[in-house]
Structure 1
Amino acid sequence: MQFLAEVQTISSIHHINLVRLIGFCAEKSHRLLVYEYMPKRSLDRWIYRRHDNSPLDWSTRCKIITHIAKGLSYLHEECTKRIAHLDVKPQNILLDDNFNAKLSDFGLCKLIDRDTSQVVTRMRGTPGYLAPEWLTSQITEKADVYSFGVVVMEIICARKNLDTAGSEESIHLITLVEEKVNSDQLVDLIDKNSTDMQAHKQDAIQMMKLAMWCLQTDYKRRPNMSEVVGVLEGNMNADTNISNNFVATSPIFFGIAGNVSYSSPPLVSDVSGPR
């Protein structure tokens, strides 16, 4: 069903920041999607420093973030039905030769009627990128906005959201962001391997503050993606009246996740890892 959903969805939508479906095969158990070729492959190869690529400069990171925002804005606000992608993460963001970014992998997407405020669905997506409301199984397209905020932080900080390679205190990036913003030390998180990023510290901090607007635990306080695009293009300012608590720890979020079970109640942002 997920395969057919992806084919139906991506064949009916067209946007410069969404990957283009060229063809597909669905013969018995043999299933294949053929996308346009994206030479630079996925974003995770460029921000996690696993493939000896040179660090991306500030302008390239800004371009990628803007392209992701525009793709999501189209899905949420310009299609006949709102389309929630529900698996926004660097592995699902593909890059062409000029680092133009396109969203891919629509296998988990959900269509939401324009006259429906939210939908009830089983938990889907990738741990670490899931919005707090997933544990109530009632979601809107604002779940993508939260995931976008996580991805922006990863791009600016050049590290995974969940990284067990570091110290226990720094495993979870969003918890670390919460600590750093409350102690006025956000600058510590900016990619230290890029001299260009260090030269644009103040701009990077403003981008992180936009991401924090997207990371509000109350989905109603998050911006629409068109508002995010407006901020990125300099047409409006990000909301500064936001909560600096980005990780939901309230017991009301636990034990109501439908078909998903855990050995102990998880933090919302720990509920995933790359699949």
Structure 2
Amino acid sequence: MGNQENSNSKIEFVVLTVVGVLALLLVGLVLLWRSKRKLFVERLVDSNSGLTVFSNTQIKKATRNFLEKLGEGGFGCVFKGTLPGSSMVAVKMLKDLGQGEKQFRAEVQTIGMLQHINLVRLFGFCAEGSKRLLVYEYMENGSLSSHLFSKSSVKLIWELRYSIALGTARGLAYLHEECKDCIIHCDIKPDNVLLDADLCPKVADFGMAKLLCRDFSRALTTMRGAIGYLAPEWISGLPITHKSDVYIYGMMLLEIISGRRNVEKIKEGKFTYFPIFAAVKVNEGDVMCLTGYRLEGDADVEQLSRACRIACWCIQDAEDHRPMMGHVVRMLEGVMDVEVPPIPRSLLNFVGMEDCTPSTDLYSL
């Protein structure tokens, strides 16, 4: 009996020792995890803008070393990331801006204070060494471009297109007219209009003009050809104003209506450039033919006519003839009348001879 009791005691001692060691290891692992998480969570917050200041290491962890690329544009690449608590974010890695950390921080602070339901929210940034990273809210449904021009995406019905056009206009109107300093986007296009889980449109990259400063005009012109979106004054080398944004918005509105990119050639009788074709049809009052093939004419005629007229007013040659974005919002809301606009003459200067041939007829309409 004595030997058996002694054996049982030894077994109990071994078991308790193993359990104790495992418990200590578990506690140690928990403490280690919490300390690492604390290091990650306790980020500096900029007192002026409320933006989180991330380190490059923190962002590399959040993006799993920039593993999943969401897209790439003229200003850098965007990667998907996850913050502690499973918050999804989009991290934009900017190309070399050639500016100091102090200037970058000051300009990001300005952008961080801008908040509107139709602007993508900026959560924070990283300015470590030569790294310049921006951390935005993650938009579940990607860009408007991916839905407008992709045959495999879910069809955007007319009501949704009109809502997206209105929301985008509200975001731009806020930047132009409601901020302390007028902010010109300069690059509004379907690729820079993002859609959240409810397909609410949010304007992205609205601070790039400020961040890129003098190099912005050169970068944008290099990135894109003349006739895609750029206003005549931009192509002519004149100063850029908020009315240049209005022109670009008008071009994008034509794309929302038609579901085709303006730079693509078309075969519509004697026309090869869609904006001219659209302007003529708006002048003639025949707007149903402007809807994209995916809509198949399924659009509210009054709204469609209104949107087409607004688009053509936005792309007028003279800046003074274009409406303010606030007026665009009210016209889309139906609280302001929209007259039939004249056909912009400058469009003919940047297209092939096929569209230039009937110019006499166009000007006589």
Q: Is the shorter-chain TM-score for this pair beyond 0.5, marking a shared fold? A: yes
Instruction: Please identify which structure carries the higher helix content.
Output: 2
Residue aligned with 1:138, SS: coil
Inter-partner Cα distance in structure 2 for 1:124 and 1:143 = 16
Q: Does 1:96 align with 2:203?
A: no
Distance 2:300 2:128 in 1: 51
SS in structure 2 at match of 1:136: coil
Alpha carbons of 1:6 and 1:94: their partners in 2 closer, same or farther (altered >3 Å)?
farther
Work out the CA distance in 2 between the residues paired with 1:163 and 1:180.
Answer: 18
Can you list the C-alpha shifts for 1:138-196, whole angstroms capped at 9, x where unaligned?
Answer: 221000101111111101100111115x549665321222343355443212122225x
How far the C-alpha of 1:54 sits from its partner, in A, is 2.4
The answer to whether residue 315 in structure 2 is matched with residue 245 in structure 1 is no
Match of 2:324 among 221, 224, 239: 224
Q: Pick one of 136, 147, 161 that aligns with 1:61.
A: 161
The residue number in structure 2 matching 1:201 is 301
1:228 and 1:44 map into 2 onto residues whose CA distance is 21
Partners in 1 of 2:207 and 2:272 — Cα distance?
28
Secondary structure of 2:298's aligned partner: helix
58, 80, 85: which one aligns with 2:180:
80
The residue aligned with 1:24 is: 125
The 3-state SS of whatever aligns with 2:135 is strand
Q: Distance in 2 between matches of 1:186 and 1:59?
A: 16
Q: Does 1:37 align with 2:132?
A: no
Q: Which amino acid aligns with 1:13?
A: L
Within 2, Cα distance between the matches of 1:65 and 1:33? 26
Residue in 1 that maps onto 2:281: 180
Q: How many residues align?
A: 240
- In terms of Rg, which structure is larger? 2
1:263 — aligned with what? none
Query: 3-state SS of the aligned residue for 2:326?
Result: helix
Aligned to 2:260: 159
Q: How many angstroms does 1:203 deviate by?
A: 2.4
TM-score w.r.t. length of structure 1: 0.77
Contact 2:172 2:325 in 1 (8 A): yes
- Partner residue in 2 for 1:10: 111
Tell me the CA shift for residue 7 of structure 1. Answer: 2.6
Whole-Å separation in 2 of the counterparts to 1:183 and 1:2:
50
- TM-score by structure 2 length? 0.59
With 185-194 and 98-107 compared, the bigger mean Cα shift is at: 185-194
> 2:278, 2:257 → 1: CA distance?
12
Counterpart Cα distance in 1 of 2:201 and 2:210 = 22
* From 110, 120, 141, the counterpart of 2:242: 141
Shift of 1:28: 3.0
Question: What residue in structure 2 maps to residue 259 of structure 1?
Answer: none
Root-mean-square deviation (Å): 2.7
Q: Which runs of 5+ in 1 are unaligned?
A: 112-118, 251-265, 268-275
8 Å CA contact 1:49, 1:55 repeated in 2: no
CA shift, 1:39, in A, is 0.3
State the structure with bigger RCO (CA 8 A, min sep 6), 1 or 2: 1
Letter in 2 for 1:37: Y
Give secondary structure in 2 for the equivalent of 1:7: helix
* 2:281 aligned partner, one-letter code: K
Q: Which amino acid aligns with 2:177?
A: E
Structure 1 residue 206: Cα displacement: 2.0
